[in-house]
Structure 1
Amino acid sequence: MTQSSLKSFRDTVEAVVVALLLAFVIRAFVVQAFKIPSGSMLETLQIGDHLLVSKFAYDVRLPSTIWLDTTDGKVLYKTGDPERGDIMVFKFPLNENQDFIKRVIGLPGETIEIRNKVVYIDGQPIDEPYVIHTKADNIPVRDNFGPFIVPEDEYFMMGDNREGSHDSRFWGTVKRSKIVGKALIIYWSWASVTDIRFNRIGTIFD
């Protein structure tokens, strides 16, 4: 191998290593891609939406692969607190190998109750213009729940498609340490390879 070809090979390896390191840092600390696999967040999120999730919206953490003493990663800096209405990705409490996406409904210390499909926080009904109902029947747990006090540092999550969502009504609250990040923007959306939803691309979540 000539000196020039050796230098070219070395430059290529360095470029690949730098790219991999940047990709790791971005995924670990900045944003992560997430695909919507189900209709639990209809109509807000459609099956086939692809999101970027901000990983520093609430906490800046060391990745768990680096911080070996905990599966959640050490918090380096607290950047904010989840608010009601935020759309969040989190580790599913019953199987942390799965990521779920739902909306924050109940905050730590609040009393949540559902009466005939209407959500009450501390005794007051809340306005939920994003919710859809697909069934008129009224059954326990799904449509009538609580009252339940949300534990400290935990969040009560619900899907916007209330009759089609498996959420905190059934498996409990989400610990802050299990939050992956906050939905940021839809960067791609399609129903199929021949049905690209251009009107959804670029949708930003507050």
Structure 2
Amino acid sequence: MRASPLSFSHKQALRRQRKELADLRRAIGRLRVRQKDLLSPEARQEAETFEREAASSLSDPQASGTTASLLLERGEKLATKLFPPKAWAGLRENIEIFLVAIAAALAIRAYFLQPFKIPTDSMKPTLYGIQTIARVEPPPPGPIRLLHMLLFGRQYHYLRLSRDVSLVDLVPGKLLVEYTDLLFDDGEKQRVWVAAPALVYKIGLRPGLFFRAGEPIFNFMTVAGDQVLVNKAVYNFHPPRRGEVFVFRTAGIEGIESTLRDHGLNGSLFYIKRCVGVPGDRLQIDPPFLRINGSATPPNAAMSRVEAARNGYRGYVILPGQLYLSSPEEQVVVPKDGYWAMGDNSPDSQDSRFWGPVPRNDLVGTGLLIYWPLSPRWGWIH
């Protein structure tokens, strides 16, 4: 007698059972190989026998659903018996994944990409440091402020008092981040999470200022400096090129290191500038132009933007106190294994004009892209 054909639902159930059986067979096989040194010969034999029987059933198109169901039940019991779940297995696995992710991130940072925060405006308007912007209107509501901070790096700072007061002193402090205690003549102290130098030099707060009731003590917004990724691998393949934005250490530059020592700072810093001269180049500054080997034509689009003195660029200039290229007649030849670094914001940049060429050994990599905050500059660095 011929067997009646299976219904569609029975066929679907059989396919599902066969797939589960195939997955279970592979899982037991992987565990058997991974833990072969921990299993007894009898346990290994039992696992191999199940794998063979499951493979035989899966290769037989006439095998019934009952056979697959029995094999599934037997395989699940076998897996529990031979490979019992370990205590805190899920937590351990998550910790392992976390540690592997950290190791991968550290490897990428060490050899390929490194984040770098723009500290000043010496590369403005190509790259921005921290901006302080005075405001008139009160800060937006809390959720909007949080969104602005996460996406655009904006933080709002606002303080006003309900009585007439005079500012007596600004006392700096630090608890993970810098803060300032504002002391008033009525004995009240207001702690604000802003560094004292920003309040003094950017906002103009100083002891003796008088504020009427309801008048803001300060109302301003700070915007985070551009956060960039630096390509650390590129100089393994070619030296810096004119026009590239590059990052370097200051360890081999005595003109910078001596200034740091004078301020009680030890250790080198990281600077970001534009490479405008490579070994052998003869340079002259003829504001707003930088002549390279006597040519009046900029060598690339980036330096052409600076020399055009438009859209925020102000050209290359000569500043008081610079040691090199201090007149249009003076020339400098970039030495072997040295690179000439200048900021795009030439009137407000401490660069090779003051402390000479950057040694080849100090190079870190090229500025690749701005990854945060979101702004019109977000994306590749040019």
Find the partner of 1:86 among 244, 247, 250: 244
Q: Which residue identity is paired with 1:29? A: Y
Find the partner of 2:273 among 97, 102, 111: 102
Matches within 5 A, 1:118-129: 118-127=289-298, 128-129=303-304
Cα gap change, 1:138/1:28 in structure 2, threshold over 3 Å: closer, same or farther?
A: closer
Shift of 1:108: 0.4
- Determine which structure has the larger helix proportion and give its number: 2
What's the CA shift string for 1:52-111, capped at 9, x where partnerless? 11111112xxxxxxxxxxxxxxxxxxx112110000011122346211000011110111
Q: Which residue identity is paired with 2:278? A: L
| Distance in structure 2 (CA, Å) of the matches to 1:137 and 1:104 | 17
Give the stretch that moved more between structures: 122-131 or 164-173: 122-131
Structure 2: runs of 5 or more not aligned:
1-83, 130-224, 258-266, 307-312
Find the partner of 1:133 among 299, 307, 314: 314
Find the partner of 1:34 among 116, 124, 128: 116
Q: Is the contact between residue 287 and residue 317 of structure 2 (CA under 8 Å) also seen in structure 1?
A: no
Give the stretch that moved more between structures: 41-50 or 94-103: 94-103
Shift of 1:126: 4.0
| 2:347 is equivalent to residue 167 of structure 1 | no
| 2:235 is equivalent to residue 58 of structure 1 | yes
In the other structure, the counterpart of 2:338 is 154
Q: Is the contact between residue 282 and residue 292 of structure 2 (CA under 8 Å) also seen in structure 1?
A: yes
Shift of 1:198: 3.4
Q: Which residue identity is paired with 1:162? A: S
In the other structure, the counterpart of 2:371 is 187
Q: Which residue identity is paired with 2:232? A: K
Q: Which residue identity is paired with 2:344? A: D
In the other structure, the counterpart of 1:13 is 95
Shift of 1:134: 8.3
Q: 4+ residue stretches of structure 1 with deviation over 4 A?
A: 134-140
Q: Which residue identity is paired with 1:144? A: S
Count of residue correspondences: 178
| Distance in structure 1 (CA, Å) of the matches to 2:290 and 2:317 | 16
Cα gap change, 1:23/1:4 in structure 2, threshold over 3 Å: closer, same or farther?
A: same
Q: Is the contact between residue 230 and residue 367 of structure 2 (CA under 8 Å) also seen in structure 1?
A: yes
| Distance in structure 2 (CA, Å) of the matches to 1:130 and 1:181 | 22
Q: Normalised by the size of structure 2, how large is the TM-score? A: 0.43
Cα gap change, 1:140/1:124 in structure 2, threshold over 3 Å: closer, same or farther?
A: farther
SS in structure 1 opposite 2:341? strand
- Determine which structure has the larger strand proportion and give its number: 1
Structure 1: runs of 5 or more not aligned:
60-78, 190-196
| Distance in structure 2 (CA, Å) of the matches to 1:136 and 1:122 | 18
Cα gap change, 1:137/1:111 in structure 2, threshold over 3 Å: closer, same or farther?
A: closer
What's the CA shift string for 1:103-158, capped at 9, x where partnerless? 01111011112134421111223423332228998757476363111111110000
Q: Normalised by the size of structure 1, how large is the TM-score? A: 0.76
In the other structure, the counterpart of 1:22 is 104
Matches within 5 A, 1:44-55: 44-47=126-129, 48-55=225-232
Q: Which residue identity is paired with 1:52? A: L
Give the stretch that moved more between structures: 132-141 or 161-170: 132-141
